[in-house]
Amino acid sequence: MNIISRRKYLTQGFKAGLGALLATTANFPFGVPRALAEGTIGLNGKKLLFIFLRGGNDGLNTLIPVQDSAYATNRPNIKIPTDPGTNYATATGGLEFRPAGDSAGTYDSYPYAIRAGNGFAAVHPSLKFLADGYNAGDLALIHRVGYVGQSRSHFDSMRYWETGVPNDNTVQEGHFYRTLVESGLGGTRPFIGLSCQTSLPLCLNGYATPAMNVSDITRFNLLGIPNTTSGNQKFDPSLVAAGGAQFPAKKNRELLKQTYTQTLTSLGIFEGLVSDYLENPYRDDVVTDGDQVWSDNWSSPAYTVDSKGRTHGPGYYLFPFNNARNGGWARDPGQATVQFDKYVVDTGAYNTSNTGTFNSLLASAMVLNHTDAFIAGTEYGGFDITDSGITPGSPTLGGHANLMRKLGWAFYSLRKYFKQYGKGGTNELPGAKTSWDDLVVITMSEFGRSSVENGSIGTDHAEASVMLVAGGAVKGYGKPGNVNGTNGGIYCCNTTHTGATAYNGRNVNWVTGNTGSMFAAGGNRYLGRAVDFRSVLGRLIRNHLGATQSQLDRILPGYASESTQHLLTGGASTDGVTIAGEPDFI
């Protein structure tokens, strides 16, 4: 049975009608007429893809303050060690890419923190595939992100990150949902926002302009019946007939009819995507990591041709659903011994939890590339690593290393997919609507992890963490207009920021030592914040998606209280912490 049963389908239609009925008391009435709407949300071609890292990502082992002595001393077993042959204080340039070595090597052969080139920070060695986007200026890593009155409850903090209203459990609408409503495009397109995960996330939740959720686009047409030719032939015409039926005029009947129409149109859209999704032919255009993918019959690793006659590159498959698509798992048969140990998202035994989420990542990418939806996303779980998240002495092994490996490849694969197969790409797909320059990819996570390792050789719930933001329009390392100076794409993880404009003139330098930034929150226990997460989202929604400031004030209400919230230009927050306001990353 599909995730969309008849009962659920009718319930969602009822909720849409109910949302309109309540519009007189809501802040965002149903279907704001486009002629009256502000801004260019959904009209300027700009899109956003989010990945929620559920469980609380350990930001200190993601973007690592290696020049802060408090880092190594307070994490003796779980720290990522520094390379004795590298002077991180004087290192310049972008992120290093450390290849795995010869063809018999595993994914990770470099066990040290990869220097970020700003004289202070480094990244986890399993994030090496971030180097491609970072060195092109397409990636910003923003550290010390949080909010005032940080909750260490997973459920509360995830709610605040998704509603955009911290410390208020009464808000039921998500900030991305409010962005959809403000576009004024509700009812004019089959759907304008979509999530690819188990259930609709709160960030897209709302009733006036319902977003869509699918757990598997191949099952979308299973509206409570078997997915067979005869079954679909019975159900689809009944839906058409129901949508065209004449009923006496009553309040909200038009909304229900619109729901029928949108569903029918959506069925056709997904039907056209399913074959490509199942074949999953998308490959890198270059051979990387000292390896390449060999075809299923162990023939030449040169370009492959899919079932539709389209040519694909010689490199790794971009979305590793399984072993055969997972990096260099399929090896040169000419070797004396065929190797099966060179993964891009796992090491050692194959782990379906690591590759399985690439199904939803590809679905999100395809939806943004082939439809008019402008917000889509998914989630990665497993970040609540309270104990044994790291194998002491082997930083590229363990739960957190696997998660970093998956995250690094996700950003690499999305960039390559849109640069090759997106609008204007080197291998542009028919009907492609989105280029890499049109897209921004972001991560969210409810909180970071404790600065001091716990007795289980792990970490506990804490406060600030790191956000990753990528896209062709991001002003990262070496990009014109980057006011972050020599810090490139690293924000708020440095002791001397040369580009003060990046922080609105606010002093948010990293303070080292046991009384510094790593212990500035939670009663001098946790990494303190320097940026409010709403400032990052707000800049994206306004500067990228095209909202006006008045729209943004409604989407993220904290912007309407700049004198106390300081989301735009920064200042001393209500708890006395000086925050940066909006970093100038896009």
Residue 116 CA to residue 98 CA, distance in Å, equals 13
Res 148: pLDDT: 97
pLDDT of residue 258: 56
pLDDT for position 556: 98
- Dihedral through CA 193, CA 199, CA 202, CA 204, nearest 10? 10
Query: In the prediction, which pLDDT does 549 show?
Result: 97
Dist CA 546 CA 559 (whole Å): 16
Predicted pLDDT of residue 223: 42
| pTM for the model | 0.87
Question: Which secondary-structure segment (H or E) carries 52?
Answer: strand 47-53
- Cα separation, 376 vs 361, whole angstroms: 10
Question: What's the pLDDT at 290?
Answer: 73
pLDDT at 145: 98
- C-alpha to C-alpha distances, 55 to 43, 136, 459, 528, nearest whole angstrom: 34, 30, 12, 19
Averaged in consecutive runs of 10 residues, what is the pLDDT profile of the chain (586 residues)? 36 36 34 63 97 97 97 94 92 82 60 90 94 95 97 97 97 96 88 91 85 76 50 61 58 54 67 87 88 60 85 91 77 51 63 68 96 96 78 77 93 98 97 97 97 90 98 91 72 77 86 96 94 98 98 98 96 94 93
Q: What is the pLDDT of residue 24?
A: 27
DSSP 282-341: -B-SS--TT--PPPTTS---S-EE-TTS-EE-SS-BSS-SSGGGSTT-S--TTSSS----
